[in-house]
Amino acid sequence: MTAGRAADELDPFDLPDWVGEVEVTWVAEHGLGDGHRVAGGLTGPDEGQSLPCDLLAVDQAYPAPVVDDATRTRVHQVWQHGQVLLLRLDERTTLAVPGTAFAAEQVLDSMARLARAVGADPRRWSVRLSLGR
């Protein structure tokens, strides 16, 4: 990813239909201590129901900004209204979130916002975090 670049926004309804229809689990590939980007993926109960889905803390600015100012501002605007901004970065679906790193509570809040964005009940979604790096 090039520092400070503009990112393409995704419409939540462009995600596969199953994301809004079945029980979904977001699984982190590594621990949350890995910095401003946490690789992960959404999975459903059936084989073939998987979608790469990362978390990106957009306020990380050292050694360079991770997104451009317009994208960063948009992330903060939608977050303030109880939503989350979906981006396409490096060919992966990415949830853009205010902040510089992630804690468990922010991951849970981000996934609940995504569930609501696709018309799903957040109580049918779960998150699996890794303790290691």
Residue 1 has pLDDT above 80, yes or no: no
**What are the structural domain ranges in the chain?**
8-121
Q: Cβ(99)–Cβ(44) under 8 Å?
A: no
Least confident of 57-61, 84-88, 116-120: 57-61
Which pairs count as long-range contacts for 68-71, CB under 8 Å and 24+ apart, including other chains? 68/4, 68/5, 68/6, 68/7, 70/6, 71/6, 71/7, 71/96
Residue 133 has pLDDT above 70, yes or no: no
Q: What mean pLDDT value characterizes the chain?
A: 91
3-state SS, residue 84: coil
pTM: 0.90
pLDDT at 5: 64
Higher pLDDT, 55 or 7: 55
